[in-house]
Amino acid sequence: MAHVERFAPSPTGLLHLGHAFSALTAWDRSQAVGGEFLLRLEDIDSTRSKQEYVDAIFEDLSWLGIAWPRPVMLQSTRMSAYQSALRQLDKLGVTYRCNCTRRDIADALSAPQEGVQIGPDGPVYPGTCKSRYILDEHAAIRLNMEAAIELLGSQPIAFEELGEGPNTETGHIVTSAEQMISGIGDIVLARKDIGTSYHLSVVVDDAAQKVTHITRGQDLFEATPIHRVLQNLLRLAEPRYYHHRLIRDENGKRLAKRDDSRAIRKYRADGASPRDIRKMVGLNHR
């Protein structure tokens, strides 16, 4: 069986130590079994994506000793594929349009009878627009999770965890229908300003690139059942997952792109070597 890994950063800032750890972990795992490593750029946010960050990603990864086939996949060129997936989901009857603002959702969730459940995307949407008929073609599109789970029937929402989830969960991870509906809810499939979402684009692109093993941080562990639902609905192949630990600062906070002091480019400028970066993130030297 082929082993295909991928690293899919967004070119909205410089790569930091957390990115280095994720990319190197995926690279090492692919090389250990003679597999393939792919680079994909998740650049659908046109207002924040910049060519200078694309160039920096290529430079930093090459400097770390990572290689990949060219040209790389760009999400900005894949809108027709995402629209096709949305049409498939619409035909299945598991989507609806939503014109709620963040304020509308916050107000709905502040009502006395509503409890605020936090899911992978933040507060779980209360379903305000589910029973509305909205003609606005620019409205967001949501997944009707209850309808999706009903359509899938007895098919379990499960994935194979090869790493360690945030609660040290490994092996065959199953999420109940109740948790999918009440704990995750009707997630956004296409945003008003972009026309797709992370959840939709990532599963469509992973399938298009025939990715078999997905290495990513523990912060995405809870989003994986969403991706499995979409893969099942769209009849896409099921990859295996390896969720790795997160690289944190001295205060235990997860690194973000605003942490320029942890940027790979800065370490390079200060004279660090790729071996030094591996040591910093706790990986074996190569």
CB 21 within 8 A of CB 244: yes
Residue 113 has which token pair? Answer: 């009878």
Residue 40 parent element (H or E): strand 36-41
Bridge partners, residue 213, by sequence: 240
- Phi and psi angles of residue 139, each rounded to the nearest 5 degrees, phi first: -70, 160
Provide CB contacts within 8 A for 3, sequence distance 6+. 29, 30, 33, 34, 35, 36, 212, 213
Give the integer Cα–Cα distance in Å for 100 and 165: 33
Q: Determine the topology of domain 1-77+248-286 in CATH.
A: Rossmann fold (3.40.50)
Give the integer Cα–Cα distance in Å for 5 and 31: 10
Give the model's pLDDT for residue 284.
76
Give the model's pLDDT for residue 76.
95
Q: Mean pLDDT throughout 136-156?
A: 91
Between helices 198-208 and 224-234, what is the axis angle to 10°? Answer: 60
Give the model's pLDDT for residue 93.
97
| Buried b or exposed e, range 114-131, using 16+ CB within 10 angstroms | eeeeebbbebbbbbbbee
Residue 175 has which token pair? Answer: 């999420």
261 pLDDT higher than 70:
no
Give the model's pLDDT for residue 251.
63
Cα angle for residues 149, 150, 153 (degrees, 5° grid): 90
Least trusted range by pLDDT, from 21-35, 63-77, 108-122, 130-144: 108-122
SS3 of residue 127 by DSSP: coil
Q: Mean pLDDT throughout 252-269?
A: 77
Nearest to 242 by CA among 59, 33, 85: 33
pLDDT tier, 111 (very low <50, low <70, confident <90, very high otherwise): low
Burial of 108 (0-12, 13-18, 19+ CB in 10 A): middle
Give the model's pLDDT for residue 255.
66
- Architecture per CATH, domain 79-247, reads as 3-Layer(aba) Sandwich (3.40)
19 pLDDT higher than 80:
yes
Give the model's pLDDT for residue 223.
96
Amino acid identity of residue 31, one-letter, is Q
pLDDT tier, 286 (very low <50, low <70, confident <90, very high otherwise): low
Q: pLDDT for 225-250, tens place per residue?
A: 999 999 999 999 999 999 999 998 76
SS3 of residue 74 by DSSP: strand
Give the integer Cα–Cα distance in Å for 195 and 218: 27
pLDDT tier, 113 (very low <50, low <70, confident <90, very high otherwise): low
Provide CB contacts within 8 A for 193, sequence distance 6+. none
pLDDT tier, 28 (very low <50, low <70, confident <90, very high otherwise): very high
pLDDT tier, 138 (very low <50, low <70, confident <90, very high otherwise): confident
The whole model's pTM is what? 0.92
The rounded percent of the chain whose pLDDT value lies above 70 is: 92
Give the model's pLDDT for residue 20.
96
Segments of the chain assigned to CATH 3.40.50.620: 1-77+248-286, 79-247
Q: pLDDT for 208-226, tens place per residue?
A: 999 999 999 999 999 999 9
CB 201 within 8 A of CB 78: yes
